[in-house]
C-alpha cells in the first residue's frame, strides 16, 4: 500500500507475517493531512482496530480537524485531516457507489484550488495519470498536477509545450525543488518551449530559447490558464 501525504514524505513500511503495515509522516512547517493503514495481501486476516487507531493518534498533529477509518478483513485505513476550506464535505475514507473501492488521499491540492483560485471542485471526480506507466513520488509534481486540474475544470488548455515544476506549500506559495536547473536544461533539450517554475532568484540558466515564467504563488501560475 503506497501511503503519501503532503510535502517531503517519509514512508515507514514493515512486513510482519505477510502483513504490510504502513504510515506516512513528513517534516513540514505546521500541520498537514496524514494517512495510515494495514493491509494483509494474502490471508486477509482481521486487522486489530485499536492498532490502526493508535497509528492515527500518532499523526494527529498532521490533521487535527477530523479523523476517519475503514475496517474490513485484511484491510484497515485511517485518515487525519487538516481542512483549509471547511469540514462540510470530503470526509475520508471515501468509497464509490458500490462501496467496493475505498480511498484515502491527500486533498491538499484541491483545498488550494478551491480557496486560492476559487475553483469549485467538490462535485468533480478527479483522476491523475502519469503517461507511460511511470510512478512519481516527489513534491516537484505538485504544481503540474494543480495546473492540470485547473485546466480540465475550466476547459482551457495550457500553452502547448508547457513544463511546470514546483512544490505547493500550505499558504499557496510555490517552493523551490532540488536540481531545478538540471531539469530545465533537460526539458529544453527535449524541445519544450515554456516553463512555469518557482522563483529562481537570478540563477537562470541558458536554456536555448525556452521561456521562463517564475512564480512565487499558485495564483501567479494559474494566470497562464
Cell numbers for 195, please give them. Answer: 516553463
| Residue pair 39/1 in contact by the 8 Å Cβ criterion | yes
Radius of gyration of the CA atoms of the chain, in A? 19
Does domain 131-222 fall under CATH 3.30.230.10? My reply is yes
pTM: 0.53
Taking domain 9-104, whether its CATH number is 3.90.320 is answered by: no
Per-residue pLDDT of the chain (225 residues; tens, 9 = 90+): 333 333 233 223 233 333 334 444 333 344 457 888 898 878 888 889 999 999 999 988 777 888 999 999 999 999 887 765 455 566 788 887 787 888 776 655 555 666 555 677 666 777 777 777 777 777 888 899 889 888 888 888 888 899 999 988 767 889 999 999 899 989 999 999 999 999 988 777 778 788 889 999 888 888 877
Alpha carbon distances (Å) from 29 to 6, 17, 56, 95: 11, 36, 19, 31
How many Cβ atoms are within 10 Å of 57's Cβ, its own excluded? 12
Per the CB < 8 A criterion, the answer to whether 218 and 172 are in contact is yes
Predicted confidence at residue 109, as pLDDT, reads: 58
In this prediction, residue 80 carries a pLDDT of 87
Instruction: Provide the pLDDT for residue 3.
Output: 32
- The three cell numbers of residue 58 are 500518532
Q: How far apart are CA 83 and CA 130, in angstroms?
A: 27
How far apart CA 61 and CA 67 sit, in angstroms, is 12
Is 214 in contact with 199 (CB distance < 8 Å)? yes
| 8 A C-beta contact, residue 158 and residue 224 | yes
Residue 132 φ then ψ, to 5°: 85, 5
Contact criterion met (CB below 8 Å) for 143 and 150: no
- Domain range list for the chain: 9-104, 131-222
Amino acid at each position: 500500500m503506497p501511503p503519501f501525504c503532503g510535502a517531503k514524505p517519509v514512508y515507514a513500511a514493515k512486513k510482519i507475517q505477510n502483513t504490510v503495515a504502513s504510515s506516512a509522516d513528513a517534516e513540514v512547517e505546521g500541520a498537514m493531512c496524514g494517512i495510515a493503514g494495514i493491509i494483509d495481501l494474502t490471508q486477509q486476516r482481521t486487522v486489530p482496530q485499536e492498532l490502526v487507531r493508535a497509528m492515527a493518534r500518532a499523526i494527529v498533529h498532521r490533521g487535527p480537524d477530523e479523523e476517519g477509518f475503514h475496517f474490513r478483513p485484511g484491510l484497515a485505513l485511517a485518515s487525519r485531516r487538516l481542512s483549509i476550506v471547511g469540514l462540510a464535505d470530503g470526509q475520508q475514507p471515501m468509497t464509490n457507489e458500490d462501496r467496493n473501492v475505498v480511498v484515502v488521499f491527500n486533498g491538499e491540492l484541491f483545498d488550494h484550488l478551491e480557496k486560492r483560485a476559487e475553483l469549485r471542485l467538490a462535485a468533480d471526480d478527479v483522476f491523475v495519470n502519469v503517461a507511460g506507466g511511470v510512478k512519481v513520488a516527489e513534491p516537484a509534481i505538485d504544481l503540474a498536477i494543480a495546473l492540470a486540474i485547473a485546466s480540465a475544470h475550466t476547459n482551457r488548455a495550457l500553452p502547448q509545450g508547457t513544463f511546470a515544476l514546483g512544490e505547493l506549500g500550505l499558504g499557496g506559495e510555490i517552493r523551490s525543488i532540488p536540481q531545478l536547473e538540471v531539469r530545465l536544461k533537460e526539458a529544453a533539450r527535449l524541445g519544450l518551449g515554456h516553463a512555469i517554475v518557482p522563483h529562481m532568484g537570478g540563477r537562470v540558466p541558458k536554456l536555448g530559447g525556452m521561456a521562463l515564467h517564475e512564480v512565487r504563488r499558485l495564483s501567479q501560475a494559474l494566470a497562464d490558464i
